[in-house]
Structure 1
Amino acid sequence: MRVYLPCTLPVLAAAVQAGELGPAPLTGYAVTPALTEWYASGDTEELEYVALTEAARASLRLLAADGAEAAPRRVVVAAEVPEGSVKASADPAERGRVRLADPVPLAKVASVHVDDLDAVSDIEAAIAALPAADDGDDDARFTVDGAEAHELMWYATQEIPDLWP
């Protein structure tokens, strides 16, 4: 099963050193039955894009929680994991959210998706606007949504070391 794991560049660097993303449990996003039912008109590719987008939103929250530690670039790791290690969220509002019972070995990573450097200023603005957006400020929500205007760049697993200096 393809799972999209929200991440940051420092967490990805630590995973490379450890040889796995962890510790478990991990939160990810995937094409779940609830997501498929909700987005009934979408094909598999569209549903995977929705899951990737949800993971990118979660990555933005990780960046906000991390403070100045992480470079302001959203990171999503796409991995193939056994279905038995994935449990879908019971919350209907989190249709694509899943929990992984085990760490994810780097050998199971299919690709990494990262913001281009051109997105940094918009990601910084979105991070700063998150608290106000969560409190219902429409202007702040617009700023946070602006981060999604940037498509994440696709990187093959052998390109992961090129993502940081």
Structure 2
Amino acid sequence: MRVYLPSTLPALGEILAEGGLNHVGTSAYAVTPALRHEVGDDAEELAYAALCAAADASVDLVAADPQAPRRRLVLAADVHDDAVRPGAQDPESPSDATGDPAAVTVHQAIPLKRIVSGHVDAPDADVIAAVEHATTTGELEVVQDYELLWYATQELAELS
């Protein structure tokens, strides 16, 4: 199963140094039956919806870390289906607060070899400012103007 893991650029450096996400109970996003019910059966739309949910969660992680560059980061990883359970692990997680249908918890460590790509905002993007502007003005589509750039796994070290 493909899962989308919200993160930050400083956390990426730690993940690369440690050889993966070595703890269990990681909150992530994936194509779930609940998401399929909400979005439909188009595989591309489903994957994009899960990726966007992870990108939204990344905003909260970036905002909570004053040292993090103001860019979202999502790591895509392939894990065994039986390692994924619906719902977020952390009751304080934004996905639980909103009841996000893509929210899942990964109950196994995720080694680097399972990470298949990274998705990050362009270097000149300041997504936090865009989110603050959108919250203040109600212009939520401003945030949606930022598309994540795709990075192959061998390029991830250049980001951290």
Equivalent of residue 97 in structure 1, options 93, 96, 103: 103
Q: Output the CA distance in 1 between the equivalents of 2:133 and 2:75.
A: 25
Distance, in Å, in 2 between the alignment partners of 1:53 and 1:32 is: 14
1:148 aligns with 2:144: yes
CA distance in 1, matches of 2:159, 2:112: 15
Identify which of structures 1 and 2 has the higher relative contact order when contacts are C-alpha pairs closer than 8 Å and 6+ apart: 2
For the 8 Å contact 1:23–1:103, the answer to whether it is kept is yes
Distance 1:26 1:157 in 2: 20
Q: 1:106 aligns with which of 88, 103, 112?
A: 112
Structure number having the greater helix percentage: 1
SS at the partner of 1:111? strand
Asked if residue 125 in structure 1 is aligned to residue 129 in structure 2, the reply is yes
Q: What's the offset of the Cα at 1:102?
A: 1.5
The CA deviation string for residues 95-136 of structure 1, in whole angstroms up to 9 with x for no partner, is: 00000111211100010000001312xx13145458xx4xxx
C-alpha separation in 1, matches of 2:53 and 2:4? 9
1:73 and 1:83 map into 2 onto residues whose CA distance is 30
- Alpha-carbon distance in 2 for matches of 1:22, 1:126: 32
State the number of aligned residues: 152
Gaps spanning 5+ residues in structure 1: where? none
Which residue of structure 2 lines up, in the alignment, with residue 54 of structure 1? 53
Scaled by the length of structure 2, the TM-score of the pair is 0.87
Q: How much identity, in percent, do the aligned residues show?
A: 42
CA contact (8 A) 2:119 2:148 kept: yes
| Partners of 2:143 and 2:22 in 1: CA distance | 26
State how 1:6-25 maps to structure 2 within 5 Å: 6-25=6-25
Deviations 1:36-87 (A, max 9, x none): 01112x4111100000000000000101111x21111100000000011100
Q: Secondary structure at the match of 2:124?
A: helix
Whether contact under 8 Å (1:78, 1:111) holds in the other structure is: yes
2:82 to 81, 84, 97: 84
1:163 matched to 2:147: no
Match of 1:39 in 2: 39
From the superposition, tell whether residues 108 and 23 of structure 1 become closer, same or farther in structure 2 (CA, over 3 Å): same
Q: Is the 8 A contact 1:119 1:147 kept in 2?
A: no
CA distance in 2, matches of 1:82, 1:10: 27
Q: After TM superposition, what 4+ stretches of structure 1 lie above 3 angstroms from structure 2?
A: 126-130
Select 1:70's aligned residue among 68, 71, 75: 68
